[in-house]
Chain A
Amino acid sequence: MNKTQGNDVIVRISDVDKSFDGERVVKKLNLDVERGEFLTMLGPSGCGKTTTLRMIAGFEVPTSGQIFLEGEDVDDKKPYERNVNTVFQNYALFPHMNVFDNIAFGLVEKKVKKDEIRRRVEEMIRLVQLDGMEKRMPAQMSGGQKQRVAIARALVNRPKVLLLDEPLGALDLKLRKQMQGELKALQRRLGITFIYVTHDQEEALTMSDRIAVMNRGRLEQVGTPEQVYNHPETKFVADFIGESNIIEGYVENMTEDSIEVTMESGKAVIPETGYRMEEMVYLCIRPENLKISTEEKEGFRFRGQVREHIFIGSTNKTMIEMPNGQMLKSVTPAEDELIPTGTTVNVYWNPGKAVVMRTKEEQIYNVIEQSVEIEGMRNDQIF
């Protein structure tokens, strides 16, 4: 079920900027979150994703720009006046209250009747599978159990949007995988919009309807996991999500339906159009698409030397050193025969498996950004 097709925007972030002590951590952010979707904000630490989440929750106020919840500007709304709830990274359970009272906290604030509180809290406890733990104190619980309490405590209020700030970050790998599945199932079942912040790209790919990739306060790309993984729009996205071979080159020749890209270590013909001659580009090839062979392949003049094989369970990773020193990675099924190290090989890939990305725009962008920082001017004074 793909809910991103609808056009029902529940959270709109419009031209939002946020600075702390003069340092811009979120830069002109525009993002629409649709009702019922699972949107993940993905990026390295310090990219502004948590700050963005905190602005939606109301813990931070944008320096400029607006945030709309269901079409309403919430600029002057305190967190307790917003119909969103947060699952905190460190759970933030009230240590002086047991599980029941923690979950009931929001309902007590809303002055819900006692027997209804009991009914709804118990329903939540069943939903997150904490039956029989009502009287436990947070200090007596494991990380995974605390996590469930934190989720129940937020969901019991039936928020319009649930905000999750790296909720699984403190759990061990196995538990994290299990909770990922449970969270996703929960979200499907309840139909509540989830905005999920993480730096774990695998987590983002498995759970999300859409991923918003952020870097240095900017939105790099928004799209489905498939789009973001297979068609990264920027070098950053290609690099950050999954493993990539990123090779710099320029367009040297063009035909009607392809371009020939010259790189430091060779040439390749790529079935893409719409580029100018001499234009600088990045090629992004996933390791599973990068192939090597001792024979020449048509359209490629791209040779390197096999350096190392790394066994990773079901697959093998082969490292190939190119003449300019760049290491390329190729991942093949474990049962495939390996080419011995030291062999000179031709590097190739199936047509259409390389993503071409423009570099010029990005470079101009960076230059402008630097000059903005030097002159202390705001971006919108330039654009």
Chain B
Amino acid sequence: MIRSFKKRIGALVTVGPTMLWLGLFLMIPLVYVIGMSFLTKNAYGGVDFKFTLSNYSALFSKEYVKVFADSLWLSLETTIICLIVGYPFAYIIANAPKKWKPALVLLLMLPFWTNSLIRTYGWNTLLRTEGIINHFLQGIGLIDKPLNMLYTDGAVLLGMVYALLPFTVLPLHTSIEKLDKSLLEASSDLGASRVHTFIRVILPLTMPGIFAGSIQTFIPSLGFFFISDMMGGAKTMYIGNLIKNQFLSARNWPLGAVLSIVLIVITLVLMKLYTRVGSLEDMA
């Protein structure tokens, strides 16, 4: 009796706080959001406790489908550019002399320690019509009129790539660093030029890193809203903005809940895919 009681106390003390934390901050909000998605919005920005599926059917309206398509497309673009920019970056870090490595990784991580909102403001000062870049280009006489850079789709993409690049580079770096250097020597020894070695050996063997980096970039990029707000002038609506708006300005909480659930489902599917590929990798 006493022993089993002691055991229970032990379990409660060790696992209890975590369970409490998860319950309070994950389970309850999640159940709350799911519940909310079936309620009806009333005229005053609150909800009536009346069951409905209309929030879900609203998803299939043209404008929301377009928002999802735009979001997925932007995330895809961001991911691909991050890969193209990040791969050489990761390769250089992974192959840098030992004494340089910590400094290079630090440089990569440094932006993480600054608030991302503030960093995005930084881009604003650079890009806007009266900004540093335009001043400079006009100063050296390369252009007459200031370039219209901020509040374009290109600016949003730039901001996204900037914010998410470390998420791509870190898994790539891990993957490239794990690469057995003697394989590259073997490839060269067997007559493969550098380009061929890259295509036939390095690229296939760093696929897990490419995949991990893509997923880890793609998922957060779906939810980012402040970059498109601040650098895109909220011209194009993305999922993140839409959800934010439903909760804060439009005060249509049920619809916001439904959109959040869709985002969570997309994320879970991608995560599942990620762990699946991960375990396949371990088997090989």
Listed in ascending order, the chain A residues whose CB lies under 8 Å from chain B are 57-59, 78-80, 84-86, 88, 90, 92-96, 105-106, 109-110, 137, 139, 153-154, 157
- B188 contacts across to A, CB distance below 8 A: 58-59, 78-80
Listed in ascending order, the chain B residues whose CB lies under 8 Å from chain A are 180, 182-183, 185-193, 196, 200-201, 204-205, 284
A94 close to B185 (CB less than 8 A): no
Nearest A-chain residue to B207, judged by Cβ: A96
- A96 contacts across to B, CB distance below 8 A: 204-205, 284
A57 close to B205 (CB less than 8 A): no
Known contacts: A95-B205, A95-B284. The answer to whether A59 contacts B191 by CB under 8 A is no
B189 close to A80 (CB less than 8 A): yes
B190 close to A157 (CB less than 8 A): yes
Least CB distance from A263 to B in Å reads: 49
- Assembled-state Cα–Cα distance A86/B190 (Å): 8
CB-defined A-B contacts under 8 Å, sample of 9 = A79-B185, A80-B189, A84-B189, A92-B180, A94-B183, A105-B187, A105-B192, A137-B284, A154-B190
B196 close to A109 (CB less than 8 A): yes
Least CB distance from B124 to A in Å reads: 45
- B190 contacts across to A, CB distance below 8 A: 80, 85, 105-106, 109, 153-154, 157
Instruction: Choose one: B189, B201, B284; the contact of A94 (CB below 8 Å).
Output: B201
- Assembled-state Cα–Cα distance A153/B62 (Å): 58
A110 close to B284 (CB less than 8 A): no
Known contacts: A109-B196, A137-B284, A139-B284. The answer to whether A92 contacts B186 by CB under 8 A is yes
Nearest A-chain residue to B284, judged by Cβ: A139
How many A-B residue pairs have C-beta atoms within 8 angstroms? Tell me. 63
Instruction: Choose one: B183, B191, B193; the contact of A92 (CB below 8 Å).
Output: B183
Q: Which of B190, B205, B284 has the most CB of A within 10 A?
A: B190
- Assembled-state Cα–Cα distance A96/B208 (Å): 12
Q: Which of B189, B201, B204 has the most CB of A within 10 A?
A: B189
A80 close to B192 (CB less than 8 A): yes
Known pairs A79-B189, A84-B189, A105-B190 / 15 extra A-B pairs, C-beta < 8 Å: A59-B185, A78-B188, A80-B190, A80-B193, A85-B189, A86-B189, A90-B180, A90-B182, A92-B183, A94-B201, A94-B205, A96-B205, A96-B284, A105-B187, A154-B190
B186 close to A88 (CB less than 8 A): yes
- Assembled-state Cα–Cα distance A94/B190 (Å): 12
- B201 contacts across to A, CB distance below 8 A: 94
- Assembled-state Cα–Cα distance A162/B187 (Å): 15
Known contacts: A86-B186, A92-B185. The answer to whether A157 contacts B180 by CB under 8 A is no
